[in-house]
């Protein structure tokens, strides 16, 4: 499946979830609702709490969990705060680096839906 189509579906479902639930819930509520919408409404392969192992010198030094992995190609990190902070963006980029995946979406279910597409490698736009 095309990465653009997958990200469009994820973003569309995020808006659908926010329109239904509004703001104010914990991240876990939005994670569960978004996973349900992606699976049931879009028939996408979704893994929740996807484990990410961090290696140093070929040895495991820590484990984190990304909120969602969609179609084995897009990591989704969910927040429920007033705004996205640089630390949230850095967290997702580190997850992408650890998994060697190229695409991630940071979705904030704050007062309105805010989405940031993050990439493992930075390429300067011409």
For the chain, domain boundaries: 3-118
**Element of type H or E holding 32:** helix 27-36
Q: Reply yes or no on whether the pLDDT at 80 is more than 90.
A: yes
Instruction: Using DSSP, state whether 95 is helix, strand or coil.
Output: helix
Spatial separation of the C-alpha atoms in residues 45 and 98, rounded to whole Å? 21
**Element of type H or E holding 39:** none
The reply to whether CATH 3.50.50.60 applies to domain 3-118 is: no
- For the segment 59-69, the average pLDDT, to the nearest whole number, is 94
pLDDT at residue 122 in the model: 56
pTM above 0.95, yes or no: no
Q: Reply yes or no on whether the pLDDT at 108 is more than 90.
A: yes
DSSP alpha helix (H) spans, 26-99? 27-36, 42, 86-99
Q: Reply yes or no on whether the pLDDT at 20 is more than 70.
A: yes
């Amino acid at each position: 499946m095309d990465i653009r189509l997958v990200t469009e579906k994820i973003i569309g479902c995020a808006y659908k979830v926010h329109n239904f639930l509004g703001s104010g819930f914990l991240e876990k509520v939005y994670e569960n609702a978004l996973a349900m919408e992606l699976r049931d409404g879009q028939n996408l392969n979704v893994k929740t709490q996807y484990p990410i192992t961090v290696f140093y010198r070929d040895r495991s030094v820590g484990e984190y969990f990304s909120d969602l992995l969609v179609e084995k190609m897009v990591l989704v990190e969910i927040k429920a705060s007033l705004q996205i902070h640089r630390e949230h963006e850095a967290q997702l980029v580190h997850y992408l680096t650890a998994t060697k995946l190229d695409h991630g979406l940071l979705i904030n279910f704050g007062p309105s839906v805010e989405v940031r597409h993050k990439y493992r490698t930075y390429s300067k736009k011409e």
